[in-house]
Amino acid sequence: MAEISGTAKLPSSGDKHGEATERLWVAFVTGVIVLLVAVVVYTSVHWGFHPPSQVETIESTSLHKGGEFAEANLGTAIAPDGSAVVRVVAQQYAFIPNCLVVPAGKPVTIRLASADVVHGFIVEGTNVNAMVVPGYVTTVRTTFQEPGERLMPCHEFCGVGHQAMWAHVRVVDASSFPNDADKQKAVNCAS
Ligand code: CUA
C-alpha cells in the first residue's frame, strides 16, 4: 500500500497571478449565468415565451383512425366566443393542413400532434415556438394581431426531408374569416 504523504504543496499565498486569473474566471462564469437568466426572464416577460405546459398524451400511430386529430377535424374551428382552435398533424415531412387560416385579434389555441417522430414549429414574428413530441399533444396559445401571411417551418431535425417541411399561417381579418359557425367545420386556406 502506498504511503500517504502529508506534505502536499498548497499554492503559496504569494501566487498572485494564479489567484487573479481564478477570480477573473469566476467573474466571467457568473456573468454568463446572469446573462442567461436575464435572457430567460426577458423572453418570457417581454415576448411571452413559455414552454408548452400541458402534458396531454395521445396515441401517435392511430391519429388518422379517428378522434380529435382525424382528418375532418384538422384546421381551424371557431368557438361561439370568436376564439379559434387550430388542430394540426405534424408528420415526415409536412404539416397537415399545410396552410392554416386564423382570425386576427382573436385568441388562438394551436394543438399539434406528431404522427411519427419529433418535430418542431415556429411561426415567424410571433411567440409561437414549440416541439411536437410523439405521444403528446402540444398546445400553444397566442393572438395574431396583424393580418398577413407568415411562415411556419419545422425547426427540429426530423429526417432527410426536414428542410422541406413547413406550412403557412394566413392571418385574416376576423370579419372575413371563412367560418361556418353552424356546421362547426374546421377550415384551412383552401376552404
Ligand atoms: Cu419535421 Cu423537421
Residue labelled with grid coordinates 407568415:
150
Q: Which residue's CA lies nearest to atom 1 of ligand 1?
A: 119
- Ligand 1, residue 92: give the atom nearest the CA: 1
How confident is the prediction along the chain (191 residues), in pLDDT tens digits per residue?
Answer: 455 555 556 655 567 888 999 999 999 999 999 999 999 888 888 776 666 666 788 888 888 888 899 988 999 998 777 789 999 999 999 999 999 999 999 999 999 999 999 999 999 989 899 999 999 999 999 999 999 999 999 999 999 999 999 999 999 988 877 765 555 688 888 87
Would you state the pLDDT for residue 5? 57
CA of 166 to the centre of ligand 1 (A): 8
- Ligand 1, residue 159: give the atom nearest the CA: 2
Would you state the pLDDT for residue 62? 86
How many other β-carbons are positioned within 10 Å of the β-carbon of residue 100? Answer: 26
Would you state the pLDDT for residue 151? 96
End-to-end CA distance of the chain: 82
Does residue 15 contact residue 9 with C-beta atoms inside 8 Å? no
Ligand 1 neighbourhood includes 165 CB (under 6 angstroms): yes
Report how far Cα 137 is from the mean position of its chain's Cα atoms: 12
CA of 83 to the centre of ligand 1 (A): 28
Ligand 1 neighbourhood includes 140 CB (under 6 angstroms): no
CA of 91 to the centre of ligand 1 (A): 8
- Ligand 1, residue 161: give the atom nearest the CA: 2
Would you state the pLDDT for residue 183? 54
Would you state the pLDDT for residue 184? 66
Would you state the pLDDT for residue 52? 60
**What is the SS3 string spanning the chain?**
CCCCCCCCCCCCCCCHHHHHHHHHHHHHHHHHHHHHHHHHHHHHHHCCCCCCCCCEECCHHHHHHCCCCCHHHCEEEECCCCCEEEEEEEECCEEECCEEEEECCCEEEEEEEECCCCEEEECCCCCCEEEECCCEEEEEEEECCCCEEEEEECCCCCCCCHHHCEEEEEEECHHHCCCCCCCCCCECCCC
Would you state the pLDDT for residue 176? 79
- Ligand 1, residue 157: give the atom nearest the CA: 2
Return mean pLDDT, the chain: 86
